[in-house]
Amino acid sequence: MSACVRIRHDHTAHSSPPSRASGIKRPHSPPPPRRGGRFRVAGADLSASITVFLIAVPMSLGLAVAMDAPLEAGLISAAIGGIVAGLLGGTPLQVSGPSAGLTVVTAELIQIYGWRTTCAITIGAGLLQILLGSLRAARGALAVSPAIVHGTLAGIGVAIALAQLHIVLGSSPQSSAAANALALPEQLGRTSPAAPLIGALTIAVLVVWPRLPGRIGRAVRRLPAALASVAIATAVAAVAAPGIARVDLPSWRSHALPELPQGPVLALATAVFTVLLVASLESLLAAVAVDKLTADRAAGRTADSASPVPVTPAAPPVRRSDLDRELRGQGIANVLSGLLGGLPVSGGAVRSSANVRAGATSRAATVLHGVWVLLAAGLLVTALEWIPLAALAALVMVVGFQMVNYAHIRNVHRHREFLVYGATITGVVLFGVLEGVAIGIAVAVTVALHRLARTRITVTDQDGQHLVVVRGQLTFLAVPRLSRALGQLPRGGDAVVELDGFFMDHAAYETIQDWSDAQTAQGGRVVFTGRSGGRIAEPASAAHSCCRPWTPWRNHHCHDRPDQPGRPVDAHRTRAAFAPGESFTADQGPTGSGGGAEADATACPTGRLDTPGDGAAVPRRTGAHRLASGLSSFQRNTAPLVRDELARLAREGQRPSQLFITCADSRLVTSMITASGPGDLFTVRNVGNLVPPPGAEAGDDSVGAAIEYAVDVLKVESITVCGHSGCGAMQALMSTKPDTPRTSLWRWLRHGLPSLERMKSRHHAWARISGRLPADEVEQLCLTNVVQQLDHLRAHESVARRLAEGALQLHGMYFHVGEAQAYLLAEGASAGSGVDEVFDRVGPCDPNHSRPYDITDLSDPTGHTELSDPGDHAAVSAPTTAAGPADPPGSGELERTSA
């Protein structure tokens, strides 16, 4: 049980979610739907569905034009994707429809097999999607290298853009991307100006529309850019170019339905597999993107500051995607789309992101968008036939260019995967989607084998000491050369082995370990280093320690590993502190041992720790066994290393520089957070990090006594009051009712009532975290409580006297447990003279810097406030009061009720 008593039901990352039948609701989540209730549509879902509908209609027609398919097929697939995939899919906010990624593939299938056989291929791909979703294979699709996936989509985007450019120029596209590129010079020579000008106007509006400034710009941006560009181009074409080619929707009576496929079985199977692969990957990647957008929105962020409909911090969270269910839903939608003569369906990033940004809260928005498309297909035929083909082609061409994402290129280049990315794009553009994916996989495998096999080993003599430098990965392929190089060194001599790589397999490990044991047995000394020269898995201070005092956490039980029998611990000898199969870095040592900061084989016989990334964690001990195990570990590993320092402190007495008042919550490890050691902090811990004001009542003198002793006897230089996230004491305060039993806990928590009154009062500014608003009322109270307890501190006579002398400083601190992030209260507020009570983020910078803390301001210049880590906080609702409406998002302050 945590020291901060939790009143509300707490859901951690390791706890199982409560069942719907239990009646327990997640914090900040909408209530569960009532059984047997009617299908309810929120106002936000209705408005979002209209926004997505206005984007989907021109997009669907444009993709149908790009595929040379019947135009009504685009509307059919958009309606089915919205209604069927929206109802049955596993991503509530994802909007499905005609697949941009399948544009090139579908166009080629229509040209080779005809429209009716293409519909049958779509049905076959849908059936396979249902099968794979039932086999729970959706996660396996995400195992494909991101460089190949993004390269495939980028190659498809290039092919789309080249094909649609011909339509913008007033002609028809060729059969392949290469043919389209070769035919461009001739096409430019015989182009009439009407179609290119309409296409250029469409592109210009698409680019400028989201960036319109001012109040008028914010108002008109509520209309989607896709609809605005097509509408403006249609109006201009109706006046300036009445003879331009336009949309021609044939009669529904002539609409073609699928037929039994005719052609070579192998070719048809390849076509089905290609549609399956591209549609599934596009849908699953879009689902992952929707999850991230939804998490950003729940945290009060918007992915695009120019979004036509700003997302409010009060947007409710949505469950994460069920990818297997999503794949099954996409399969059912494809089967129905093929049966009704529609295009292949997949999740679309453009439509889905618009849905999230428009404020959709459930799958009702997706379903309604499909209903609107269905109604438009039957009632707006005359209006749709006014749209110029050049405008639709320009719209799709921009979508194709957007599929070549610069952020993806930068990522793959940073991870040295650009060769795979480039090869995939080239293969898709020149040969086709399936061929491009195969080329990308072949190049990825070749690059991986090259990296594993490429190992350079050099041996040099430096003043009688041999330096062995190993560049690259140590696998069994490098063992012969490694053995030969190590065998050339004199036995019993000193050697330094510099390892510059990130992987070592068992064969290489055995070779190095056997050679190291043989050298040391004959009186030699072997040191293993990284590229920087620092010892592998050794702290920067060169202190030989296996565990620091805080490492006996769960999954950090290096003390639970038995010593190797018959092998004494040698504090002056360094062994290879990594295990076979572990990855290691040049400067940090094995990634499995905490990055080299916590482990050193000189004092830990096993040479490694059980960290969370370690696959051989020892089960956690409980009760007396865990206590005895921890004490034994301290006596074995830590006591020999700190005995001299503790003996000095025993002789000289304690002289701490700080009084640290914090909560008794077990998750707060003060020595770790402050990077302090024995004798540095005089610590007071209690439930809620409370400081009772002087003369509160008898029985609460413990904290006052500690303050008086620290200030008058120990002469501390500063006092810090530290609150933390998820404090159960603050939750209990907010849940206190007049009939609460007068228990010991209540009698203590009443010292926090002034903090609660301060938060509700309009006479005090609300405490805030720099760059974002508090996540919820509990976090707001945690912050306000720190400020209030500092006021209580100033009321103590000894503290007031030292403050007047200028010999004491007060600090407020807030620690977010989930983010492992510390925040310091601004200096003015800590001193009691500041108006704004802002907690600034502490960053990892040089403490001697002129500005001691790296304060990251994440405020968007447009007024949107962003969190440093999306998804860590629930949304905060700004209530409306009698004084007026709540502040708009980004105002930097929440509305409060009067005290």
Q: What is the pLDDT of residues 668-705, one digit of tens each?
A: 888 888 888 888 899 999 999 999 988 765 557 889 89
Q: Which residues contact 199 (CB under 8 A, 6 or more apart)?
A: 168, 169, 390, 391, 393, 394, 397
Enzyme catalytic residues: 663, 665, 667, 724, 727
Q: Which of 292-306, 362-376, 567-581, 818-832 has the highest mean pLDDT?
A: 362-376
Cα separation of 79 and 98, whole Å? Answer: 10
User: In the predicted model, is pLDDT for residue 252 greater than 70?
Assistant: no
Contact 556, 621 (CB under 8 A): no
Contact 102, 129 (CB under 8 A): no
pLDDT band at 173 (very low <50, low <70, confident <90, very high): confident
Choice among 121-135, 162-176, 268-282, 485-499 with the minimum mean pLDDT: 162-176
The mean pLDDT value for 312-333 works out to 76
pLDDT at position 452, please?
Answer: 75
Bridge partner residues of 527 (DSSP)? 496
pLDDT at position 102, please?
Answer: 81
Contact 54, 67 (CB under 8 A): no
Share of residues in the chain with pLDDT > 70 (%): 74
pLDDT band at 507 (very low <50, low <70, confident <90, very high): confident
pLDDT tens-place string over residues 4-34: 433 333 433 334 444 444 444 343 344 444 4
pLDDT band at 128 (very low <50, low <70, confident <90, very high): very high
CA nearest to 843, candidates 750, 761, 770: 770
Give the angle 190-195-201 at the CA atoms, nearest 5°.
135
The mean pLDDT value for 621-636 works out to 75
The mean pLDDT value for 408-432 works out to 87
Here the tokens at position 680 are: 């540095």
pLDDT tens-place string over residues 742-791: 888 888 888 888 988 888 887 777 778 877 788 888 999 999 999 999 99
Helices (H), 664-725: 670-673, 701-708
Q: pLDDT higher for 843 or 441?
A: 441
pLDDT at position 318, please?
Answer: 60
Helix, strand, coil % in the chain, rounded to nearest 5 = 50, 10, 40
pTM above 0.75, yes or no: no
pLDDT band at 652 (very low <50, low <70, confident <90, very high): confident
